[in-house]
Copies of this chain bind each other. A is one copy, B any other.
Amino acid sequence: MNGAQALLRTLVAGGVDTCFMNPGTSEMHFVAALDDVVAMRGVLALFEGVATGAADGYARMAGGPAAVLLHLGPGLGNGLANLHNARRAATPIVNVVGDHATYHKHYDAPLESDIDAVAATVSGWVHRPMEAAAVGPAAADAVRAALGPPGRVATLILPADASWSEGAAPAPPHPRPRPAPPDQGAVASVAGALRSGRPVGFLIGGRACRADALALLGAVAAAYGARLITETFPARMERGAGIVAADRLAYLGEMAVTQLQGLAHLVLVDARSPVSFFAYPGKPSDLVPDGTEVLALTQPGQDVMAALEALSGELGVDASSAPAAEARRPARPDGAALGRESFGQVVGALLPEGVIVTDEANTSGLFLAGATAGAPPHDWLTLTGGAIGIGLPLAVGAAVACPDRRVLALESDGSAMYSAPALWTMAREGLDVTTVICSNRSYAILNMELQRVGASAGGERARAMLDLSRPDLDFVSLANGMGVPATRAETATELADQLARALASEGPNLIDAVITR
């Protein structure tokens, strides 16, 4: 058995049975091993950022890692932005980067580069097995490292000769790592803050954005008059009718500070203390208002559900008492012009139960949260690390992880262009993904940011760098070019009609929604 075969067998034994890949010559034995280890599903991506973003989406929904296969340093570079997002999402990923044979590296061939240095910037674990016999154990270690908790990118750099040489064997999986127990002192402190009667807010992230955690939080919050706020960009949020609702912390720092104003205690639950996304001249980076004390209920790697159960037990509240979101939907905005508000209304009116939304609508998504708060239960995945171009790859991964659910990718036009080949993978794999492109023909967020950073008014030459027209992008043509059927919507009625049809169809489809207001 060669190293590649041992690698695949070890991954499968460890529960990693899907690999999103864009291979090259040094990865050919890994690819060949797919015929030997048929339990491993290979999913081809035409660009590495699709593979890494898909692995992120897969693990957010499947709860365990997928593997990624990339080609040397440049392949890792192309996949780096979405690995950055995965790192911020604490997503487990087994990231296999093929490298030259060990003896070939010192020749400094054209593709030689410092893979370790680049990998370290996004990985919680980096290892390079130097011979075939070391590959199986390294793969088992990689799975354990990826799982954390918290989840992380585990990068296994695979020399071509370690991959092709015989003498390898699969390694048995390590026991699945367990989260650390909660800190009873932290639980007691939070309970004390709640009992003090002073205003308390919970800032909720990670595992705490799931329905079971929200039920416990909702019960506590209702009993003590506390507020529930999620982090600005949760990796995966369960929401909708019947689930306890929480506001999201605003992206704009000054709005976030306003949201948090008046809290005596801000309790972090699998979340970090809030900071401004960017720095702005004369504005604070730390968003915690003066006079607010920050308490952490959990530390990274601790068992979030156990902490919440301990807290509710300590306080004597029952999850079943939590006030959940009521079922309500906006009406279809038939006859309205298509703009950000009617876009939100259309989505809210039509969102099916169990849909997985990948949200990279950016400025076009301003009205989505309100319009969908009472829709049937669904999952909402966001851009955790700020590196745009993840929405379509996330949708690929979520659809592979959950073949029985439809995925709705709400995507801005600018962001879509960083990883548009995801559409081809949707077509090849027959994935049930509906993509709505919000075509505002602008890096609209930058037009706002240009003002906010205090840059001079923005003359014609500056504005041209933020403008996506001249020529307009035609996403119907782009989608068709990659085998995805597509339509264009220019009114709210057209969007609603097309979205209703698309959500009821099989396989991928796309709507180019012209949302310029």
Contacts and interface: CB of A to CB of B under 8 A. Distances in A.
A417 interface: yes
Contact of A84 (B113, B275, B386): B113
Interface string A350-380: 0000000000000000000000000000000
Interface in A35-61: 35-36, 38, 42, 44, 46-47, 49
A276 to B, nearest CB: 7
Interface in A77-103: 77-81, 84-85, 88, 100-101, 103
A459 B35 contact: yes
A114 B119 CA distance: 11
A92 to B, nearest CB: 19
Contacts of A74: 80-81, 84-85, 385-387
A511 to B, nearest CB: 15
Interface centre among A75, A421, A454, A481 (most CB of B within 10 A): A481
Interface stretch (A26-34, A137-145, A192-200): A26-34
A160 interface: yes
A289 interface: no
A122 interface: yes
Contacts of A42: 461, 464-465
A348 interface: no
Interface stretch (A312-320, A324-332, A445-453): A445-453
Nearest to A41: B461
Interface in A109-131: 109-111, 113-114, 117-118, 120-122
A78 B100 contact: no
A161 B281 CA distance: 8
A279 B417 contact: no
A121 B118 CA distance: 8
A478 interface: yes
Nearest to A107: B275
Nearest to A29: B455
A158 to B, nearest CB: 13
A458 B32 contact: yes
Contact of A387 (B111, B114, B285): B111
A456 B74 CA distance: 26
Given A471-B427, A481-B476, A73 B78 contact: no
A443 to B, nearest CB: 8
Given A84-B74, A455-B29, A474-B480, A113 B122 contact: yes
A281 B164 contact: yes
Contacts of A458: 32, 35
B31 A275 contact: no
A456 B37 CA distance: 13
Nearest to A383: B110
Given A32-B456, A120-B117, A420-B420, A111 B164 contact: no
B286 A107 contact: yes
A21 B465 contact: yes
Nearest to A417: B46
A415 to B, nearest CB: 10
B25 A446 contact: yes
A499 to B, nearest CB: 21
Given A25-B446, A31-B450, A386-B110, A279 B103 contact: yes
Contacts of A424: 417, 471, 473
Contacts of A285: 101, 103-104, 107, 109
Contacts of A446: 23-25, 28, 31
A414 interface: yes
A472 interface: yes
Contacts of A120: 114, 117
Nearest to A448: B25
Contacts of A277: 109-111
Given A100-B278, A474-B481, A478-B481, A384 B110 contact: yes
A404 interface: no
A488 to B, nearest CB: 12
Contacts of A276: 104, 107, 109
A421 B417 contact: yes
A454 B73 CA distance: 23
Contacts of A281: 161, 164
B386 A160 contact: no
A414 B101 CA distance: 25
Given A77-B81, A107-B275, 12 more contacts: A26-B278, A28-B446, A35-B456, A77-B77, A77-B84, A78-B418, A100-B279, A110-B386, A113-B122, A164-B281, A473-B482, A481-B481
